[in-house]
């Protein structure tokens, strides 16, 4: 029923655009010059809406309409990398706000000196996963390190993981309690200080796959458990989807394993200012705008390349 509802919404929207285009065409055929300015305005609005909807057509994946789990993990680079992870968290939170989506940090591990080691953010909004899955991969930062006494140039790496979220009515991942090892512990902040006296943080180990998920940002043990289960299911779903894609790609002879070192995008703040996506060659010189959440150009270019347009 949900699929039918989504399809009906799409059909009704495109039929509406068709009727608007037809009306503009028929009025233009009359040849009344007094209507020319009004028709030009109507046509501009129609073209803007059409461009937006054509972009949505690119988001035709199985889970593209749904919500997403965004994980940011600091990589090579020590404190600089952890600071870079915090900068990326701010960048994506700004982008989420720009799109009108809602977000919730469900797990966060702070760095010892600065930044974060990792964070998992739940993102809710139409096509949240479809947009964000273009960001999956390694992101590289080149800058003069604020943590280097000699103020030398450093390169830092962060890995972004994006997982699809489904709701209970269309959840296709089943978990057996026998396959889960659940540990309860106290939430902690940077420096190891306890945030709460009660043990509310949850760590779940999926025994068959070895996947370990932890959630500690909620004050309720039940809420943390629910969030941990949601993350675990999303990761198991991703593994299944990747295996299916690999099988199809093997048949086509196109499969190529993605390694940690293969960054998808570089953010250069010194000796010049440039953000460049290595998959599409799309780039922006206004690095501050990108770090403030201006990511739509990169996402659109990646989507178009994915479908060969």
Which of 167-171, 176-180, 272-276, 300-304 is modeled with the greatest confidence?
272-276
Confidence at residue 255, expressed as pLDDT on a 0 to 100 scale: 45
277 and 143: one domain?
A: yes
Answer left, alpha or beta for residue 117, where phi above 0 means left and psi between -120 and 50 means alpha: alpha
Closest alpha carbon to 266 in 279, 278, 258: 278
282 and 200: one domain?
A: no
Task: Read off the DSSP letter of residue 258.
Answer: P
Which percentage of the chain shows pLDDT scores above 90? 45
What does each C-alpha distance from 139 to 150, 239, 267 come to in angstroms?
25, 22, 8
32 and 87: one domain?
A: no
Please report whether residue 82 resides in a domain. yes
Going by their DSSP bridges, the two strands 274-277 and 283-284 should be labelled as antiparallel
Kindly report, residue by residue over 230-263, the tens digit of the pLDDT.
Answer: 889 888 888 887 787 776 666 555 444 444 557 8
Contacts of 293 (CB under 8 A, 6+ apart): 91, 92, 93, 94, 95, 96, 97, 98
Kindly report, residue by residue over 97-117, the tens digit of the pLDDT.
Answer: 999 999 999 889 898 889 999
Write out the two tokens for 38.
């009004």
283 and 203: one domain?
A: no
Calpha distance 23→84 (Å, rounded):
52
150 and 76: one domain?
A: yes
- If one counts the domains in the chain, the total is 3
Write out the two tokens for 199.
């043990």
pTM for this prediction: 0.75
151 and 286: one domain?
A: yes
Reduced to 3 states, what is the DSSP secondary structure of residue 240?
Answer: helix
Reduced to 3 states, what is the DSSP secondary structure of residue 227?
Answer: helix
Residue linked to tokens 């039918």: 4
E-strand stretches of the chain: 67-74, 102-110, 116-124, 137-144, 153-165, 180-185, 201-206, 211-215, 263-268, 274-277, 283-284
Kindly report, residue by residue over 118-147, the tens digit of the pLDDT.
Answer: 999 999 998 999 999 999 999 999 999 998
Q: Could you tell me the CATH number of the domain that includes residue 89? A: 3.30.70.1660
Q: How many CB atoms lie within 10 A of CB 179?
A: 12
140 and 220: one domain?
A: no
47 and 78: one domain?
A: no
Average of per-residue pLDDT across 63-92: 92
187 and 147: one domain?
A: no
Q: Which structural domain, as residue segments, surrounds residue 33?
A: 2-57
Mean predicted lDDT score pLDDT of the chain:
85
Please report whether residue 257 resides in a domain. no
What does each C-alpha distance from 22 to 9, 15, 100 come to in angstroms?
20, 10, 32
Contact 116, 86 (CB under 8 A): yes
């Amino acid at each position: 029923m949900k699929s039918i509802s989504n399809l009906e919404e799409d059909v009704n929207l495109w039929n509406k655009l068709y009727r608007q285009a037809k009306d503009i065409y028929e009025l233009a055929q009359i040849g009344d010059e007094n209507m020319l300015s009004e028709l030009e305005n109507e046509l501009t609005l129609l073209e803007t809406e059409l461009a937006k909807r054509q972009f949505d057509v690119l988001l035709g994946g199985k889970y593209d309409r749904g919500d997403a789990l965004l994980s940011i993990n600091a990589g090579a680079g020590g404190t600089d990398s952890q600071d870079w992870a915090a900068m990326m968290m701010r960048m994506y939170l700004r982008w989420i706000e720009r799109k009108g989506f809602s977000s919730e940090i469900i797990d966060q591990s702070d760095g010892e000196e600065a930044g974060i080691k990792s964070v998992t953010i739940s993102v809710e909004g139409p096509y949240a996963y479809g947009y964000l899955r273009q960001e999956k991969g390694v992101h590289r930062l080149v800058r003069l390190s604020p943590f280097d006494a000699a103020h030398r140039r450093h390169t830092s790496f962060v890995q972004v993981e994006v997982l699809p979220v489904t709701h209970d009515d269309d959840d296709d991942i089943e978990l057996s309690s026998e396959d889960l090892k659940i540990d309860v512990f106290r939430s902690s902040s940077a420096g190891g200080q306890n945030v709460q006296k009660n043990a509310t943080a949850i760590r779940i180990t999926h025994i068959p796959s070895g996947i370990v998920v932890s959630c500690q940002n909620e004050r309720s043990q039940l809420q943390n458990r629910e969030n941990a289960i949601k993350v675990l299911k999303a990761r198991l779903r991703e593994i299944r989807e990747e295996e299916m894609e690999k099988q199809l790609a093997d048949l086509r002879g196109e499969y190529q394993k993605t390694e940690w070192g293969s960054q998808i995008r570089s953010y250069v703040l010194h000796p010049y200012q440039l953000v460049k996506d290595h998959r599409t060659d799309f780039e922006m010189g206004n690095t501050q705008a990108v770090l403030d959440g201006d990511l739509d150009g990169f996402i659109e270019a990646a989507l178009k390349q994915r479908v060969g347009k």
